[in-house]
Amino acid sequence: MTFRNSWRASWEADGLHISGTTDLFPNDFSTVQLQFESDDRVTGVRTYRLVFSRDKEPFCGKDLIGPVVHVDRSAPEAIRAIRVVSPAGVEVGRVPFDRAAPRPNKR
């Protein structure tokens, strides 16, 4: 499996769950998260940007990369795919998901 193919997304009861891995960690940065970038209402694609930050421990090498896990509780139900881009805006993953997937519960 490549890092590009590691991304997964699915609707669950509490929102849109996204997970994956990356090998783009810059020097001295040890954690990564997703930040909402934009929605394309025509295609139903929501874009997230990888954002890197320092953790308590120094970065220890590409062999110790952990997963990225993100829950988006504000994603519109019309979203049918997610796109993940690097800090420079280069696409590193794209995940369509089944239209028959469960929708978030309305409260």
Confidence check: pLDDT of 101 > 70 = no
Residue-wise pLDDT tens digits, 12-30: 888 999 998 877 765 555 6
Buried-state track 60-73, b at ≥16 Cβ within 10 A, e below 16: eeeeebeebebebe
Residue-wise pLDDT tens digits, 33-89: 899 999 998 999 999 999 887 665 655 555 555 678 899 999 988 899 999 998 899
Confidence check: pLDDT of 107 > 70 = no
**Domain regions of the chain by residue span:** 4-96
